[in-house]
Structure 1
Amino acid sequence: MHYVKAKSILSKNNGMNLYRGCTHGCIYCDSRSNVYNMQHDFEDIEVKENSLDLLKKALQKKKEKCMIGTGSMTDPYIPLESELEYIRKTLKLIHRYGHGFTCITKSDLVLKDLDLLKKINDESKVVIQMTLTCMDDEISRLIEPNVCPTSRRIEVLEILKQENIPTVVWLCPILPYITDTKENISSIIDACIKADVKGIICFGMGMTLRDGNREYYYKKLEENFPGIKEVYEKEFGDSYSISSPNNKELMKVFYQKTNEHKIMNKPDEIFEYLHDYPKKRKSKQTTLF
């Protein structure tokens, strides 16, 4: 871990990353790519030490309420969050200034902030986005070794459902020749149906590989899935976007199940939902005696 001073914290679309780098160890992580020009080891977490002050000033200046998002580059609920509590302090600011909140995570640490998430959701809007890639916990531990397995993430979705906090699932990446089976995709979607998720984001059954993350991914394939690396090199070469040979069949399953259960399945529609802030803040219920 190391600290840096940031010049700003919110993007033009009201997204932020309080941390840079990650210790989840997901073998497919695109954030390792050289294109992001990270000047430190990926596991050496960069902490924006002045991010909370910057966020407070930014929220004070906003003329209109909006959804504040995080997690696009680094999962906000990395283990370090338990110690620093930057996200928890962020949630307190978001609640104080009346904005909404959404994040992308694959960690059950999100539940430690359930009290604040409920407060924000009661008055405006919260959407928790959870990444699910593999229903087999043993394989999940190989491809996402330092984070809770899929079964636990599904438990988190169920808890959030009970607390009336909306959820969205990222069904990606899907690793060719590893997780691209009908059984895996169907099982994940069935779990989403049970958890009453609002939408499932899927850009096709495949993944991205570019300089930086490709080398790390191939190294981990050699360690955990002998023989698969050679298949990738022969079939995909240096392609950035690679698709499962089962893509057509699996996407058919995806659309059939999501349409049948009225789960949003178009990325643009889901992103619009995530960014949409309620025009009228929810009024707190009162009981007359």
Structure 2
Amino acid sequence: MEWIKAKTLLQKVSFDGQLWFGIDYVMNLYKGCNHRCIYCDSRSEKYFIEDFNRVRGKEHTAGILQYELKKNKCGVINLGAMSDAYNAEELRNGLTRTALQQIYEYGYGLSIETKSNQIVRDIELIKKIQERASACIKLSITTIDDSLAKVIEPGVCPSSKRFEAIQMLSQAGIYTGVLVTPVLPFITDTPENIRGLVRKAYESGAKFIYAQFGMTLRDRQRTYYYEKLEQSFPGLVAQYKKTYGATYGCTSPRCKELSFLFAEECEKYGLLYKMTDIVADCPKKKEDEQLTLF
């Protein structure tokens, strides 16, 4: 794996962290991703990542992170925003594993979003972080159909394997749920898919499921996506162009219908689905009990 220099790792979020799983910081230990999801927003020019399918590790992450954890105020660190923390290189290099150990040692909370079932490797460590501070794990799953997942996320394990990972995390007592983003217009925005995802989340022991009914499209991301659509879904590019033009935010034409259905299904199974409720329900740092002499 190629290594690149990094001056910093922790980035304070510029938005209200309560709007996204209560996070305070984002951190990416790798640059690029080999999951090859056809829709990934991180391909966009604004992120300055050339050859996005190639994963590069950041040098001296343990030392940089130790320094930043010491100087910053404790909070919740999110991994997986730009580059999946459990990409194929992680199994060989262990940058995420080392970072989790440091997060635990310094008492920070943890938030992870991943498409990889390899996260189960770190169940015991994540459990310790949750017990000391907080943890919220999200497995990103866009379709209930393993064969379709192989087309739109060719470098990722099948959806069924991700649900198995959710079950293992949940059985270990870790606060775990499903992230249904994006929902691809004319591909995964069907009532059958949404019903299936909610039902399987429940059966796997998830505490929550969060969805956004649409996707983003811009510059390199749009070009790559359309190339892949032409290969696997002939004729669909024309429908996208007619519906969205050059629009950045591409909401599913079925958004209203699916949002209602999604809420109804979540209520039926007792799954949290509103961000405010998920953040409120996530295990928080326990306040130390004051000792008394009596």
Question: Taking structure 2 as the reference length, what is the TM-score of the superposition?
Answer: 0.88
Letter matched to residue 32 of structure 1: R
Select the residue among 1, 12, 26 that pairs with 1:15. 26
1:132-177 deviation line (CA, Å, top 9, x unaligned): 1011100000000011010110011111111011113211111111
More deviation, 88-97/137-146: 88-97
Match of 2:287 among 259, 280, 285: 280
Q: 2:108 aligns with which of 84, 99, 104?
A: 99
Q: Percent identity?
A: 39
The whole-number CA distance in structure 2 between the counterparts of 1:22 and 1:268 is 30
- TM-superposed CA distance for 1:281, in Å, is 6.1
Secondary structure of the 2:219 match is coil
Q: Are 1:123 and 1:281, in contact at CA under 8 Å, matched by a contact in 2?
A: no
Distance 2:265 2:288 in 1: 33
Structure 1 contact 24–78 (Cα < 8 Å) conserved: yes
Query: Among 125, 129, 149, which residue is 2:138 paired with?
Result: 129
- Aligned Cα RMSD in Å? 1.9
- Residue 102 of structure 1 deviates from its aligned partner by 1.6
- State how far apart, in whole Å, the 1-side matches of 2:132 and 2:53 are: 36
Given that residues 184 and 215 in structure 2 are in contact (C-alpha distance below 8 angstroms), is that contact kept between their aligned partners in structure 1?
Answer: yes
- Higher mean displacement: 147-156 or 12-21: 12-21
Structure 2 CA distance for aligned equivalents of residues 170 and 109 of structure 1: 17
Cα distance in 1 for residues equivalent to 2:267 and 2:38: 31
Name 2:179's counterpart in structure 1. Answer: 170
Q: Using the alignment, how far apart are the partners of 1:53 and 1:34 within structure 2?
A: 30
2:67 alignment partner in structure 1: 57
User: How much has 1:2 moved relative to structure 2?
Assistant: 2.4
Deviation per residue, 1:56-109 (Å, 9 max, x gap): 11222345x322221111111000000110000011111222222221101011
One of 54, 58, 61 as aligned partner of 1:44: 54
Residue of structure 2 equivalent to 1:286: none
> 1:75 aligned to 2:77?
no
**CA distance in 2 between partners of 1:213 and 1:187 (Å):** 28
- The answer to whether the 8 Å contact 2:116/2:162 transfers is yes
Residue identity opposite 1:15 in structure 2:
V
In 2: Cα distance, 1:179 partner to 1:23 partner:
22
Contact 2:140 2:178 (8 Å CA) reproduced: yes
Q: CA deviation at 1:257?
A: 1.8
Q: Deviations over 1:193-234 (max 9, x none)?
A: 22332322223x211111110000000001111111111112
Separation (CA, whole Å) in 1 of partners of 2:288 and 2:234: 54
Matched, 1:200 2:215: no
Task: Name stretches of at least 5 consecutive residues in structure 2 with no aligned partner.
Answer: 13-23, 290-294
Three-state SS of the structure 1 residue aligned to 2:70 is helix
Mean CA deviation greater in 3-12 or 184-193: 3-12
Q: Give yes or no for contact 1:198–1:264 (8 Å, CA) kept in 2.
A: yes
Cα shift at 1:17: 0.5
CA distance in structure 2 between the partners assigned to 1:194 and 1:281 by the alignment: 35
TM-score, normalised to structure 1's length?
A: 0.90
1:29 corresponds to? 40
SS of residue matched to 2:11: coil
Structure 1: give runs of 5+ residues left out of the alignment: 283-289
Separation in 1, partners of 2:96, 2:171 = 22
Determine if contact 2:178/2:206 at 8 Å carries over to the other structure.
Answer: yes
- The structural deviation recorded for 1:14 is 1.9
The aligned counterpart of 1:285 is: none
Query: Please, which of 225, 228, 232 is the counterpart of residue 217 of structure 1?
Result: 225
Cα 1:186–1:270 shift into 2, 3 Å: same
How big is each residue's C-alpha offset from its partner over 1:92-133, in whole Å with a ceiling of 9 and x where there is no partner?
111222222221101011011122122223333222111110
